[in-house]
Amino acid sequence: MDEFRWEKFIFLRRMLIWMKLPSFLRCSRRDCGRTFDLHDRILACSECGDLLEVVVDPGEIDPCDLKRVWKERRTSWDELDASGVWRFREFLPGYNSAVVTMGEGNVPLVRGRVAAEWADVEDLRFKHLGWNPTGSFKDLGMTAGMTEAKYTGATTVACASTGNTAAALAAYAARGGMKARVYLPAGQASANKLAQALDFGAEVVQISGSFDTALEEMLGGGDRDVYFLNSINPFRIEGQKTAMFELMEQCGWNPPDYLFVPGGNLGNSSAFGKAFIELKQYGFIQRVPKMIIVQAAGANPLARMWRSGTTELEIVAQPETVATAIRIGNPRSWRKAIEAVRFTGGTITDVTDKEIGEAKAAIGQDGIGCEPASATTLAGISKLRKSGEVPRDASIVAVLTGHVLKDTEYIIKRHEELSAQAV
């Protein structure tokens, strides 16, 4: 074939790959499975009340071809290609309007050396989702959620938040030309995160109580003109799942043995589980990493449930932990998260505030840094190493979810306490 015809052939083939069957919403409860139009603007199944998921059928695809296309896009200056989320758009809902993006994703996988020694493991890498535009993994979900909000004509978007979702929502709403309203538990979000939300122009509503109260109040407000962007919104999950597409790509499509993830409202672990199901189903990977969700001991409803073997979640009424990002007692995505852990053959555990502090310091010693909630991962690795559940020579990836600058007050306070103890 001459060069011109060959290029034309490749172009047509790509066009076929990109042409997808329509996506839709489906109830995530397997024994319900009711379906809805993709753009229905609903957050729960009208039949059983459970959360929804986006179903995307990528059509006829060849994993080898797509892996190459995804990699090639990293050298493109096109706005969609340059986003580490939309680079994987064959597995996302398609839009014929502009997407709201800030080049999120494409974050490195960094080897932990001091941290590995601290946790007594040999092969440890960090996927640092804190190195995103607003400093947390929320940006990955927000580009997808905000694009859907804009597509459906929303003018105001809102979320309840422990801080990071608020910062991401405020930034992406500003980019998308929408008003942002954020509901924060009064005095509980770090000053740095609050400052971001303010700087990006969000209206801040302070709620007395925890994140759980803030979420209830926001949803109970029932303002139909407002588009809600917590992780119960299935479009958020779609964006966040691409972190695992990117991770598998960075691992040469050879998954690590274990993936450690912090657990709060459990949207992220649900998103990662969805990614692994899809990547395996369509032949991108042959096996999946065991996913370990790590919660803070003072905000650990899922870990308690897992240990006790019950089938219903018992809410922690007054969650308490220094890891303010995951100070959550009533995680909404718990069913999806449990399913994800079961699918991967993983487990759920919890760690104390003291363990979180020590693990965070070890990550800092590696020159990487993270916010306290992210350090639950390393603390969890150390705990499961001590119990023998994780072998020393296992390959491990820990997902760091927030930037070290997200909670500077915690760092200063910890060092003041350490100095005081030393004298």
The Cα-based distances of 196 to 168, 174, 242, 401 in angstroms read 9, 12, 24, 17
d(CA 196, CA 182) in angstroms, rounded, equals 12
Q: What are phi and psi of 105, to 5 degrees?
A: 80, -160
Candidates 143, 161, 196, 382; binder of ligand F0G (CB under 6 A) is 161
When asked if residue 136 is in the footprint of ligand F0G (CB under 6 A), the reply is yes
- From the centroid of its chain, how far is CA 312? 23
Residue placing its CB nearer to ligand F0G in the complex, 81 or 217: 217
When asked if residue 162 is in the footprint of ligand F0G (CB under 6 A), the reply is yes
Residue placing its CB nearer to ligand F0G in the complex, 178 or 400: 400
Contacts (CB under 6 A) with ligand F0G, residues 88-107: none
The C-alpha torsion from 126 through 130 and 136 to 141, rounded to 10°, is -50
When asked if residue 300 is in the footprint of ligand F0G (CB under 6 A), the reply is no
Least distance from ligand F0G to the Cβ atom of residue 20, Å:
27
Residue placing its CB nearer to ligand F0G in the complex, 139 or 148: 139
When asked if residue 349 is in the footprint of ligand F0G (CB under 6 A), the reply is no
Residue placing its CB nearer to ligand F0G in the complex, 159 or 390: 159
When asked if residue 326 is in the footprint of ligand F0G (CB under 6 A), the reply is yes
When asked if residue 266 is in the footprint of ligand F0G (CB under 6 A), the reply is yes
Cβ-contact 167, 134 below 8 angstroms: yes
Counting residues that bind ligand F0G (by CB under 6 A) gives: 23
When asked if residue 321 is in the footprint of ligand F0G (CB under 6 A), the reply is no
Q: Is the dihedral of CA 26, 213, 157, 100 positive or negative?
A: negative
When asked if residue 402 is in the footprint of ligand F0G (CB under 6 A), the reply is yes
Candidates 56, 69, 119, 325; binder of ligand F0G (CB under 6 A) is 325
* Nearest in space to 260 (alpha carbons), one of 297, 292, 237, 231: 292
When asked if residue 237 is in the footprint of ligand F0G (CB under 6 A), the reply is no
When asked if residue 374 is in the footprint of ligand F0G (CB under 6 A), the reply is yes
When asked if residue 202 is in the footprint of ligand F0G (CB under 6 A), the reply is no
Candidates 23, 165, 233, 349; binder of ligand F0G (CB under 6 A) is 165
Helical residues (DSSP H) of 136-185, grouped into ranges = 138-151, 164-176
When asked if residue 185 is in the footprint of ligand F0G (CB under 6 A), the reply is no
Least distance from ligand F0G to the Cβ atom of residue 370, Å:
8
* Nearest in space to 338 (alpha carbons), one of 293, 300, 297: 293
Strand partners, 259: 291, 397
Candidate ranges 221-229, 261-269, 272-280, 282-290; the one touching ligand F0G (CB under 6 A): 261-269
- Amino acid letter, residue 137: F
d(CA 377, CA 386) in angstroms, rounded, equals 14
d(CA 49, CA 72) in angstroms, rounded, equals 42
When asked if residue 134 is in the footprint of ligand F0G (CB under 6 A), the reply is no
- Amino acid letter, residue 333: S
Question: Quick check: helix, strand or coil at residue 359?
Answer: helix
Number of neighbours of residue 19 by Cβ within 10 angstroms: 12
When asked if residue 233 is in the footprint of ligand F0G (CB under 6 A), the reply is no
Q: What share of the chain is helix, strand, coil (3-state, %, to 5)?
A: 45, 15, 40
Candidates 105, 176, 255, 264; binder of ligand F0G (CB under 6 A) is 264
When asked if residue 371 is in the footprint of ligand F0G (CB under 6 A), the reply is yes
When asked if residue 338 is in the footprint of ligand F0G (CB under 6 A), the reply is no
Burial of 388 (0-12, 13-18, 19+ CB in 10 A): exposed
Candidate ranges 70-78, 249-257, 264-272, 388-396; the one touching ligand F0G (CB under 6 A): 264-272
Residue placing its CB nearer to ligand F0G in the complex, 61 or 142: 142
Least distance from ligand F0G to the Cβ atom of residue 292, Å:
13
When asked if residue 242 is in the footprint of ligand F0G (CB under 6 A), the reply is no
Q: Residue 23 has what DSSP assignment? A: P
- Residue 295 belongs to what H/E stretch? strand 290-296
Residues in contact with ligand F0G by the rule CB under 6 A: 136, 138, 161-165, 231, 262-269, 325-326, 371, 373-374, 401-402
